Amino acid sequence: MIGVESLSVAYGAVQALREVTFEAPPGRITAVLGANGAGKTTLLRTISGLVAPREGRVHLGGETLTGRAPEEIVRLGVAHVPEGRGVIGEFTVEENLRLGAMIRREPAGPLLEEQYALFPVLGERRRQGAVTLSGGERQMLAMARALIARPRVLLLDEPSLGLAPMVTAQLMHSIRDLCASRELTVILVEQNAKSALRIADTAVVLYLGRVVANAPAEEVARDERLRQYYLGMVES
Ligand SMILES: Nc1ncnc2c1ncn2[C@@H]1O[C@H](COP(=O)(O)OP(=O)(O)OP(=O)(O)O)[C@@H](O)[C@H]1O
Ligand SMILES: [Mg+2]
């Protein structure tokens, strides 16, 4: 179980997170939703040790992650797929995956094959530069690069950004399957509340750095007030 406890983060005078508390259980998808500037990216960056909180802590299976170096947090099993995807364009698909596999001290071959089985298109494109991939393929590569290290926790920052609705639906489907089949803990940050709520178990809604809701995804999806004021889901 990974969780954050009373987490507050500030960038100078800008308070990005205010006493944020929630837990994300294994084998479940916890969606973190909210408008631009709500603090979603800051939350993931704090969990993975890239930003130091002013107060509060992050814990994983009884251990405190706060104060540890980002590399150590990766080694403890937390993989972060950042906003903008974090793949190296000049490297081929396979080189990007090999980088992801480096923290596992075992031959990369079987690990690569496992990812190619999961995302067949990456196998077909293995010698191609990552820069030549489509947006959806690049998102798959970013996820495969995180997964190849066999993390316990997967932090995804807006994986659907810039993808067509159909590609987003496929991607959400793969996230759902992965989470269930590997007992992976997924924290899914999305502005696209609708597609995230379809696959998430629980949703945490942030507004100006505060948690305004933490409830089963179906409940959040039905809540008119949350939908209108905090999630910008205006539809007939
Ligand atoms: N490095 C930084 N320095 C100063 N302020 C920052 C920094 N990063 C983020 N902020 C501010 O902190 C707040 C939260 O930003 P954050 O990126 O976490 O929001 P977000 O919910 O991910 O938004 P988006 O949906 O647009 O990605 C915003 O007001 C933002 O301007
Ligand atoms: Mg963000």
- Fill in the DSSP letter of residue 91: S
Question: 24-38, 79-93, 141-155: which range is least confident on average?
Answer: 79-93
What is the distance in A from the centroid of ligand 1 to the CA of 234? 24
What does the pLDDT average to over 126-138?
Answer: 93
What does the pLDDT average to over 37-56?
Answer: 97
Whether 171 contacts 163, CB under 8 Å:
yes
Instruction: Give the number of whichever ligand sits closest to the CA of residue 43.
Output: 1
Ligand 1 pocket test, pick from 4, 36, 46 with the greatest ligand atom count within 8 Å of Cβ, gives 36
Which domains does the chain show, CATH number per domain?
A: 1-77+164-236 (3.40.50.300), 87-150 (no CATH)
What does the pLDDT average to over 80-97?
Answer: 91
Which pTM does this prediction carry?
0.94
What is the distance in A from the centroid of ligand 1 to the CA of 41? 7
Within 10 Å of residue 167's Cβ, how many Cβ atoms? 17
d(CA 228, CA 217): 16
- Fill in the DSSP letter of residue 229: I
Residue 157: predicted pLDDT: 96
- For ligand 1, atom 11, name the residue with the nearest CA: 16
